[in-house]
Amino acid sequence: MSDSNDLIQIGRRSFLKNASVAVAGVSGTVAALSPLKEVVGDFDVESWLQQHYHELSEDEMKDVLARLEAEAKETYGTDIKVRDVKPKEDTKFAYALNLGVCVGCRKCAYACEKENNVSRSPGMQYIRVLEMEKGGVNLETANHQYEPETVPKPDKYYMPVQCHQCDKPSCVKACPVNATWKEPDGIVVVDYNWCIGCRYCEAACPYWARRFNFEKPQLPKEEINPNTSYLSNRPRPVGVMEKCTFCLHRTREGKYPACLEVCPTGARVFGNLLDPKSEIRYVLQHKRVFVLKEEVGTVPNFFYFFEAQS
């Protein structure tokens, strides 16, 4: 058989030939990998080896926070503070939105973007305001890109959608590495240093609430919010998921989320479901609330109600 004859004849000439082929192959591979030169400097071994949020001891967490502050300083030139804000006891957050009062101005979307250091890449905003046709709740005819002279238009109503922090979240079920989970106070969070960027959670979410960093976040230095926390609004790297966290760095310290603070019409209601005297409980008891896509069974904690005055 000629094949084994080929092998027997391996001598200096074919060795040189083979060696040069091998060298060409190796150098070709190195040349192919040349674009990685740009990002080789960004690679940090400590960051790469960091364990999951739940596995970090208090001291390890302190080191991680310090490292994140240093990274932000290097990338953006600004001093930021990254804290690990723990959940409050006996708290379960919920949100309600008065569809009769929302005028579709989108101030909530932009306030959120600023508060949470979201990339200014188009479409990244956690809050998406839908222009809905009056007479039903039909998402198929909703317009996301409305830009009339003034809002509201008389034949439309406006429905902001953001992460609903579901009680049975499809995204948490989907994640293969447990990079996203539901915290004890109800907020569904993402560990940005653990996420592998597979985007299965984004496919799983029935409310299109999750965002992925397809590129390095476009974050203008002057607009960075320096008060950040590990699980919510600290500057994120490329290639990881993120989403609304009900501003847990504010709400876990008793403040309102940014979207609610800025809403000019007071359409948003937020609070602790476990407090019977809270505003959110009042709304759930006295208003007729509904949730989106109830049939999907995710049990959202974001309620819509209509208290229209015109």
Partner 1 sequence: MKDYFAFLGRAFKLSFVGDWRYYAWMSFLTIVALIGLNAWATQLAQGLSTTGMTDQVSWGAYIANFTYFVGIAAAAVMLVIPAYLYKTEPLKKVVIFGELLAVAVIIVCLAFVTVDLGRPDRFWHMIPLIGKFNWPISMLSWDVVALAGYLLLNMHIAGYLIYKLYLGEEPNPRWYKPFVFTSIAWAISIHTVTAFLYVGLGGRSFWHSAIIAPRFLASAFAAGPSLIILTFQIIRYFTKLKVADEALLLLRRIIAVAMVINLFLLFSELFAEFYPHTYHVAAAEYLWFGLNGANKLVLWIWLAVFMNVAATVIFVSKRSHSLPWLNAACVLAIVGIWIEKGMGLIVPGFVPTPLGEVVEYAPTFNETLVCLGILALGALLYTIMIRVAIPVVLGGLRREV
Partner 2 sequence: MISTFDNFIKGFLAVLVGLVGYYFVATILSSAAEEKQPPVPREQPINLDFGPTTKRADKVYLHKATFEYECVECHAWQERDPSPREFIGEHSKMNLEHGSLKTCFTCHHETEYDQLVDPRDGSPLAYNKHVSLCVRCHGPVYKDWKYGAHGRRGGYWDKSQGEQTRTECIICHDPHQPAFKPIAPLPRPGVARGAVHAPSDEPHTRVGKLLKHKPIPKTVRGPAIVEWEIEDTYDE
Choice between 192 and 246, CB closer to partner 1 = 192
In degrees and rounded to multiples of 5, residue 244 shows phi and psi of: -60, 135
Answer for the pair 224, 77: CB distance below 8 angstroms, yes or no: no
Using the rule CB under 8 A, is 155 a contact of partner 2? Answer: yes
Choice between 264 and 297, CB closer to partner 2 = 264
**Contacted by 227, from partner 1, partner 2, none: CB < 5 to 8 Å by type:** none
Using the rule CB under 8 A, is 5 a contact of partner 2? Answer: no
Helix (H) or strand (E) holding 160: strand 156-161
Using the rule CB under 8 A, is 262 a contact of partner 2? Answer: yes
Considering only residues 8, 54, 145, 295, which one is a binding residue for partner 2 as defined by CB under 8 A? 145
Question: At its nearest, how many Å lie between partner 1 and the CB of residue 7?
Answer: 6
Considering only residues 24, 70, 177, 203, which one is a binding residue for partner 2 as defined by CB under 8 A? 24
- Other beta carbons within 10 Å of 42: 13
Please give the Cα distance from 148 to 117 (Å, whole number).
27
Q: For residue 195, what are its two tokens?
A: 């996420």
Question: At its nearest, how many Å lie between partner 1 and the CB of residue 285?
Answer: 28
**Contacted by 152, from partner 1, partner 2, none: CB < 5 to 8 Å by type:** partner 2
Choice between 54 and 277, CB closer to partner 2 = 277
**Contacted by 283, from partner 2, partner 1, none: CB < 5 to 8 Å by type:** partner 2
CA distances from 45 to 40, 41, 48, 49 (A): 11, 11, 5, 6
Using the rule CB under 8 A, is 287 a contact of partner 2? Answer: yes
Q: How many residues bind partner 2 (CB under 8 A)?
A: 82
Question: At its nearest, how many Å lie between partner 1 and the CB of residue 310?
Answer: 25
**Contacted by 94, from partner 2, partner 1, none: CB < 5 to 8 Å by type:** none
Query: b or e along 262-273 (b: 16 or more beta carbons within 10 Å of the residue's beta carbon)?
Result: bbeeebbbbbbb
Question: What is the identity of the amino acid at 67?
Answer: R
Q: For residue 43, what are its two tokens?
A: 């690679």
Considering only residues 47, 67, 85, 152, which one is a binding residue for partner 2 as defined by CB under 8 A? 152
**DSSP-assigned letters across all residues of 131-148:** EEETTS--GGG-BSS---
Which single residue is written with the structure tokens 């932009």? Answer: 110
Task: Calculate the CA 12 to chain-centre distance.
Answer: 60
For residues 185-224, which are near partner 2 according to CB under 8 A? 214-215, 218, 220
Using the rule CB under 8 A, is 104 a contact of partner 2? Answer: yes
Q: Integer distance in angstroms from the first to the last C-alpha of the chain?
A: 91
Which single residue is written with the structure tokens 């708290």? Answer: 91
Using the rule CB under 8 A, is 42 a contact of partner 2? Answer: no
**Contacted by 18, from partner 1, partner 2, none: CB < 5 to 8 Å by type:** partner 1
**Contacted by 7, from partner 1, partner 2, none: CB < 5 to 8 Å by type:** partner 1
Please give the Cα distance from 244 to 239 (Å, whole number).
17
Please give the Cα distance from 120 to 214 (Å, whole number).
12
